[in-house]
Structure 1
């Protein structure tokens, strides 16, 4: 936008409970597609919060790089979910995106002690934010599955969201371990 350009953030076009998908198709704001891509946006914001909470320093550059890619891919997932099934998708998610996440999960998990107990979300604020992002991605996955039950979507979208929540879980553990703030573990109730 050039200097002096006055663009309003609000459009008033959604005041009657409808919104536009990509290519201008109008749908109710409660439509399954809107819920799915809105939840992807919410997850992306949680990842942004986690990035903001990561400590400064070059030792975190690779994590920041990975999360920047994830944020871009999650934006692409949202755009794909916001595209009607009969319209072209600008940035389709593919099996290579899923495979890349799997490689990153394996690389991070190899640096962690094996899980002996269920963990409770927490630890360092950046790790806790990644746990929040993980749960929001799971909700986005459920919403995408609902869309897929009603109309055709790229099956790689659901696979990507599934692996992304796994990646965020392992990354939360990795961040917490490196910062010396592991999550609390779930133990049998001891009555206290």
Structure 2
């Protein structure tokens, strides 16, 4: 099988289950941004320390869930194509992970600036990409019916990525930088 098909040379792409849409379609922007997020998680994984196997395994699971999310977004709800759909259990799994990790962190008393250890800083970037994917899903949902669990999943995933950045900095003993608003004169 060749990597190129030439079918997208006209500016369209195929959806799972049939049908073609312009590559500028909001649905395509949504799952394209999910794909970008997945790549950011791969970059984070490449910057983990050898002893951070637990975090690496979690990020790998999240990457698999993001592939499922992309497949869900690429498959119209009325399609007869068989695909994985994001379900409430996926959102609940993220919530459980957030609760587990937050229990290991000092309470957050102020806004913090993104940064810290390189992998943690990348997790902050991944969080912002996740928020952009969420906005694209909202836009696509204004035009057609999508699985509403995808929106909940991305919302919760961005929260998890924030907690993971804090957790990684905490684990590596890197202090968080509080946001100090400029004083007005």
Please give the TM-score of this superposition, normalised by the length of structure 1.
0.90
Q: 34, 39, 46: which is aligned to 2:40? A: 46
Deviations 1:84-124 (A, max 9, x none): 23214511111011011001001111111111221111101
Q: 76, 85, 97: which is aligned to 2:77? A: 85
Deviations 1:102-155 (A, max 9, x none): 010011111111112211111011101111111101111111111222111111
**Equivalent residue number for residue 17 of structure 2:** 23
Which secondary structure does the structure 2 equivalent of 1:136 belong to?
A: helix
Which secondary structure does the structure 2 equivalent of 1:175 belong to?
A: helix
**Equivalent residue number for residue 76 of structure 1:** 68
Which secondary structure does the structure 2 equivalent of 1:127 belong to?
A: helix
| RMSD of aligned alpha carbons | 1.4
Matched, 1:64 2:41: no
Distance 1:86 1:68 in 2: 30
Quote the offset at 1:23 in angstroms.
2.2
- Please, which runs of 5 or more residues in structure 1 have no aligned partner? 1-6
> Structure 1 stretch 85-94 or stretch 101-110: which is displaced more?
85-94
Quote the offset at 1:171 in angstroms.
0.4
Which secondary structure does the structure 1 equivalent of 2:84 belong to?
A: coil
Quote the offset at 1:24 in angstroms.
3.2
**Equivalent residue number for residue 119 of structure 1:** 112
Which secondary structure does the structure 2 equivalent of 1:177 belong to?
A: helix
- Please, which runs of 5 or more residues in structure 2 have no aligned partner? none
Distance 1:42 1:173 in 2: 22
Deviations 1:57-82 (A, max 9, x none): 2xx22211211111111110111101
Distance 1:121 1:43 in 2: 17
Quote the offset at 1:190 in angstroms.
5.5
Q: Does structure 1 retain, via aligned residues, the 8 Å contact 2:123–2:164?
A: yes
Distance 1:22 1:121 in 2: 37
